[in-house]
Structure 1
Amino acid sequence: MTRALERWRPGRDEGSAHGFDRRLLAPMMTGAALNPVNSSIISVSLVPIGAAFGSPPSRTAWLISALYLATAIGQPVMGRLIDLFGPRRLFLAGTALTGIAGVVGMLAPSLGMLVAARVLLGFGTCSGYPAAMYLIRSEARRTGEKSPAGVLTALAITTQTIAVVGPSVGGLLVGIGGWRATLAVNIPLALLGLYLGARRIPALPGTARTDGRPWVRSLDLPGMGLFAVALSCLLLFLMDIGSGAWWLLVLTLAAGAGFTWRELRAGEPFIDVRVLGGNLPLVATYGRALLCYVVTYAFLYGFTQWTEQGRGLSASQAGLVQLPLFATGIAVSALTGRRQAVRGKLLVGAVGQIVACALLLLLHGDSPVWMLLAVVVVLGVPQGLNGLALQNAVYHQSDGDRVGSSAGLLRTFGYLGAITASAANGAFFGQRADTGGLHHLAWFMLATSVLFLAVTVADRSLRGIGETSENDSQDDGENP
């Protein structure tokens, strides 16, 4: 995959450069992996954390939502900062914050402190993925290579690998050092990221350095604030939807309207809603990401909790059950990664999600392990297709000058899906992750999957994405 990625040398003439700098792959992958590892590794820790602090699933769900609220807000903010100032310093700052959060979480004396550590983790892990997408675009400009299929595939496989293998690693860590080990793992990962980022990421200039204006004036702070208020109110409403706190939904709509009004009038908006309004295919991709990740994360957390409480497996066993998901997802991504056309991947991925959700309805407390593995294998197919297709779609649909913030916004919509999934898990499971709750969750996931398929079939703009680049890459022996 990295064979065609040529080594970057400072001072090299840009016109003579051929191939992507393969030295960038290690920091890109390490940074992009920090968020999915913390997203997935917690899935097998929820039950032992709940036992340690005497908290039911409805309360431990905040460990999921806190991370995703921070990342949903932080990803586009960090992406915009990377667009303005370049990736290196922000990558290093975010990675350092991740290590600090690992220390806080490892020593947390209460569930509240642990939730605070997860918020820090959310903000700390925000820089990796936008920085990677910025570097890919920067290398494309430097080399003249327009279709970095191998690089995008490597990035997608990395995030998918970590997301899927996370439960297995988490189960192993819980067995060795208890649930605190799943927080402590961030310390060595952060140190590795700091080393690689400092040694290999070049100090690329951002757009803010070209006009000589103070950096604060390049930031749309009111827009960022309204965006954060809207998402926070939405999360609070979703996490306790049964309480009837509709005023939170009203605040969400009001803050959202204020955010839109502000962005339409800002000289340098945080999120250029005018561009989004004129780029409906990109908006549709963000909507598909939300639907896709509702199903992905509802399964990751809901199914894993059920295997421990409803099926009676240990944390280590529950993690091992997820391994076929890892193997299938990676195999599918590797086999299809060189093909950049996204429509076929999304269609097959949507059908795969529908089949997997239907299979969940067949599971019971005494179901044999081979049935659990069958469900996991089926879901591995869309796991390997959807993330890669959505990433490629954003790369081709977004404005080149805002690729960092566009990539961050893709993650934001994915995390909105995760927040919705977390709220659904808390609502359907209540005090215990039993089989009845799993079946109710499966019906919710099935309806979401059908909607995902419907909006994909209806979107004609997907037909041309990647097809031209794909034909070009077949004529270019340098492509990975």
Structure 2
Amino acid sequence: MTSLTARLSRSLRRPPEDGGRETRQDRPEGFNRKLIAPMLLGSVLNPVNSSMIAVALIPIGTAFGMPPSQTAWLVSALYLATAVGQPVVGRLVDTYGPRRLYLIGTSLVGIAGLLGALAPSLGFLIAARVLLGFGTSAAYPASMHLTRSEARRTGGDSPAGVLTALAIANQTVAVIGPTLGGLLIGAGGWRTMFTVNIPLSLACLVLGTLRLPRHPAPDREQTSATGRVDLAGMALFAAMLVSLMLFLMSPRLARWYLPVLAAVATTGFAVRELRVPEPFIDLRVLGGNGPMLATFVRQLLSYTAAYAFMYGFTPWLEEGRGLNASVAGLVLLPLSLSALLVSGATGRRSEIRGKLVAGGLFQIAACAALLLVDSGSSLWLLVAVGVLMGIPQGLNGLANQNALYHQADPARIGSAAGLLRTFMYLGAMTASAATAAFFGEGARTGGLHGLALFMLAGAVLLLAVTLLDRSLHRVGLVTARARA
């Protein structure tokens, strides 16, 4: 983290644009380098907790005597909380500034880590994951808000290095999470994974207190939201997600009322959000911004496949292939390396569409390769599949984040960033439900192949959405001209 911050600090020094004639007094300062460390550290709290749990599902199920279909709620509970929490916190960040929300959220992470480490039952552990989800909802919208505010203060476009660093940090931590989780489980059992949140939370609190601005960003007049919270909209949105997830996690005819409830909640949510002056999610903005809506759809599809791989392939390595948690985590380590290398190599390139097209193609190839593995597959083949899946993870998330930065209303960048994360979490919840459905009797090879076909269909759809979105040509062109 220290070396990454140092490299970013050097890259963010902006040369004068007038050939050196500008005076020191007239030239605005560059990006505030003190913000980089709390931004990066806070933004990785969610991906590290999202990914480490993948190798812990089998050990936790064994400890509490629960099958994979029940331990999958450890995944869904966190994402249900973050799917609701991200837009709410993003809105509050736009209204009150990032510092206050950042500190509240990261403190909740430490509390949730302590509760998870002491959990006496699976239900208690799920509740701790819900609290963890709400706690990790603050840092990413706060970071995007700070990035936009600093760009406006300095009078130029946002430094590409900051957006790249946020994406690389999140993607890297997400993909090394299973390896880290496996090592922690091998060292002290699954409870040690939750204790990691305590020092991380303390570090965020110290950095946030010392370095984040005490007042809202300089563009406060452009973020004049009233601060009213749409509680009814939030309740309807939560009811829609919970009822749908309850059905998808165990689809049976006897539970017909759940999709009906989800449809009713969806209708009520849409009607309310179109009528209230300060909606929880402004559907009118989404309807009038087709490119941003397409970005949200791509985010949903790309992370559905990414998380289905994480929450499907990892338990299969342990139960279907017979590896222990530590070895399974190490098998996935090359995935993190390929994602990191791809993000680092392409992060500063302004072109977005090419990254998404390549990401879609590699995701299709990785899902197809997953159909080739079985309980007797060699370790090198398993590693190769992971490396292949790491490539789209290094491309898609970064490209969608950069696209959103240019498509969103600057005054609502925190809300838009929260919604981008919400669609990522919707993809994770879809992946969790699919994993529970295909692994109903355990993490067997047949279930893995069924999950791979599900992922393959989503990857094909992702590529189609990208190819049909002509606005991506303009986003890359505008960014390139701005740098010229």
Following superposition, the deviation at residue 346 of structure 1 comes to 0.6
- Judge conservation of contact 1:332–1:385 (CA < 8 Å) in 2: yes
Please list, as runs of the form range in 1=range in 2, the aligned pairs for 1:45-60 lying within 5 A after superposition: 45-60=56-71
Is residue 2:322 matched to residue 1:305? Answer: no
SS in 2 for 1:338: coil
TM-score (norm 1): 0.94
Following superposition, the deviation at residue 255 of structure 1 comes to 1.6
Is residue 2:9 matched to residue 1:2? Answer: yes
- Bigger mean CA offset, 278-287 vs 263-272: 263-272
Paired residue total: 468
Following superposition, the deviation at residue 243 of structure 1 comes to 4.8
Give, in whole Å, the separation in 1 of the partners of 2:308 and 2:223: 46
- Judge conservation of contact 2:146–2:217 (CA < 8 Å) in 1: no
- Judge conservation of contact 1:361–1:439 (CA < 8 Å) in 2: yes
Counterpart AA for 1:265: R
| Structure 2 match to 1:392 | 402
Q: 2:426 aligns with which of 416, 422, 442?
A: 416
Counterpart AA for 2:198: I
Counterpart AA for 1:5: L
SS in 2 for 1:466: helix
Please list, as runs of the form range in 1=range in 2, the aligned pairs for 1:312-327 lying within 5 A after superposition: 312-327=322-337
| Structure 2 match to 1:286 | 296
- Bigger mean CA offset, 368-377 vs 227-236: 227-236
- Judge conservation of contact 1:165–1:326 (CA < 8 Å) in 2: yes
- List gaps (5 residues or longer) in structure 2: 1-7, 15-23
Distance change in 2, residues 1:146/1:245 (3 Å): same
Following superposition, the deviation at residue 21 of structure 1 comes to 1.2
| Structure 2 match to 1:101 | 112
Give, in whole Å, the separation in 1 of the partners of 2:224 and 2:271: 25
Is residue 2:74 matched to residue 1:43? Answer: no
- Bigger mean CA offset, 292-301 vs 263-272: 263-272
Give, in whole Å, the separation in 2 of the partners of 1:64 and 1:195: 29
Following superposition, the deviation at residue 470 of structure 1 comes to 2.5
Is residue 2:147 matched to residue 1:140? Answer: no
For residues 291-335 of structure 1, the C-alpha deviation after alignment (integer angstroms, 9 at most, x for no partner) is 111100000110000111111111000101111111111111111
| Structure 2 match to 1:230 | 240
Over aligned residues, Cα RMSD in angstroms?
A: 2.0
- Judge conservation of contact 2:106–2:136 (CA < 8 Å) in 1: yes
- Judge conservation of contact 2:367–2:453 (CA < 8 Å) in 1: yes
| Structure 1 match to 2:141 | 130
Distance change in 2, residues 1:243/1:185 (3 Å): farther
Is residue 2:279 matched to residue 1:275? Answer: no
| Structure 1 match to 2:213 | 202
- Judge conservation of contact 2:43–2:143 (CA < 8 Å) in 1: yes
Is residue 2:259 matched to residue 1:259? Answer: no
- Judge conservation of contact 2:147–2:158 (CA < 8 Å) in 1: no
Distance change in 2, residues 1:346/1:185 (3 Å): same
Following superposition, the deviation at residue 222 of structure 1 comes to 2.1
For residues 324-383 of structure 1, the C-alpha deviation after alignment (integer angstroms, 9 at most, x for no partner) is 111111111111111122111111001101100111111010100000011011111101
Give, in whole Å, the separation in 2 of the partners of 1:214 and 1:291: 31
Question: Once the two structures are aligned, what percentage of the paired residues are identical?
Answer: 61
- Judge conservation of contact 1:5–1:19 (CA < 8 Å) in 2: yes
Distance change in 2, residues 1:420/1:214 (3 Å): closer
- Judge conservation of contact 1:2–1:150 (CA < 8 Å) in 2: no
- List gaps (5 residues or longer) in structure 1: 8-12, 476-480
Give, in whole Å, the separation in 2 of the partners of 1:105 and 1:71: 17
For residues 166-221 of structure 1, the C-alpha deviation after alignment (integer angstroms, 9 at most, x for no partner) is 011100100111000011110010001101111111123269986999966x2222
For residues 21-66 of structure 1, the C-alpha deviation after alignment (integer angstroms, 9 at most, x for no partner) is 1111100011100000000000111110011001110000000000
Give, in whole Å, the separation in 2 of the partners of 1:306 and 1:14: 61
TM-score (norm 2): 0.93
Q: 2:176 aligns with which of 140, 160, 165?
A: 165
- Judge conservation of contact 2:304–2:431 (CA < 8 Å) in 1: yes
Following superposition, the deviation at residue 252 of structure 1 comes to 1.6
Give, in whole Å, the separation in 2 of the partners of 1:184 and 1:87: 26
Counterpart AA for 2:40: M
Give, in whole Å, the separation in 2 of the partners of 1:4 and 1:187: 32
SS in 1 for 2:9: coil
SS in 1 for 2:72: helix
